[in-house]
Amino acid sequence: MRRFMIRLATLAAAATTLAPVAPTTAAAAQGLAFRPLQYNTNGYNWGGYAATGSGFSSVSASWTEPDATCNSSNDLYAPWVGIDGYGSSSVEQTGVATDCSSGSPVNQAWYEMYPANPVYLSLSSYPVSAGDHITASVNYVGSNRYTLKLTDSSRGWTYTTTKSTTAQRTSAEVIIESPTGAYPDFGTLNFTSATVNGKSLGSAGPVALDPSSNGTFEASTGGLGSGGTSFSETFLAE
């Protein structure tokens, strides 16, 4: 009997070892960070608006998550909001990444306190699908602390975290970015309710950015709406 029980325990252990483990994060990690603009090596791959100056304390925006189509397994991009990164070496940011390394688009919520690695939220606890309404914000709360908040109101979840870092707070952004320099076809993404320091994004006189790779523009950034709180990003090329 004892040998039989040992054999059962051995088989159970082997089954545990060989059983497939469900992934808790998308392949979006890929060892790639959503980095400050000057550190991007695949062209000018930020799109959107960056406000510059000093003492930025908050940024927020909303969007509907696009139904993206993968052109290749290299496609990876994210809409996000953040403080710093346009002219500094750090970024405090949060958004949703769409990753195509599996051959199909996988949407995953994330935040990053660059140069620390990005943190991807659990796909089961914080799911995101095309068509979901997303709101993201980053707030400086003092003593080198930042509160990052991401809400999927379509799914009924909110994720909030407060992290510490030393940063310059010399820019604030509402952005799309591809660390690989390759965007999936996301059609048109509309940012709304975009504010900086509690005022319209337009009041900050932001710089408009169009993402490009190897001299080819991959998306175009539309003009700010009349209230200065909305704009569109439109996919152009593979």
Contact 122, 49 (CB under 8 A): no
List C-alpha distances in Å: 44 to 41, 86, 134, 155, 188. Answer: 8, 12, 25, 33, 19
pTM, to two decimals: 0.88
pLDDT value of position 31: 65
**Could you give the CA distance from residue 141 to residue 121 in angstroms, rounded to a whole number?**
23
Catalytic residue among 65, 177, 218, 233: 177
pLDDT value of position 12: 38
User: Which positions of the chain have pLDDT values less than 70?
Assistant: 1-31, 238
**H or E stretch covering 154:** none
pLDDT value of position 175: 98
The one-letter amino acid code at 114 reads Y
pLDDT value of position 166: 97
**Could you give the CA distance from residue 214 to residue 231 in angstroms, rounded to a whole number?**
25
Token pair recorded at residue 98: 């769409």
Q: Annotated catalytic, 65?
A: no
CATH topology of domain 25-235: Jelly Rolls (2.60.120)
pLDDT value of position 2: 41
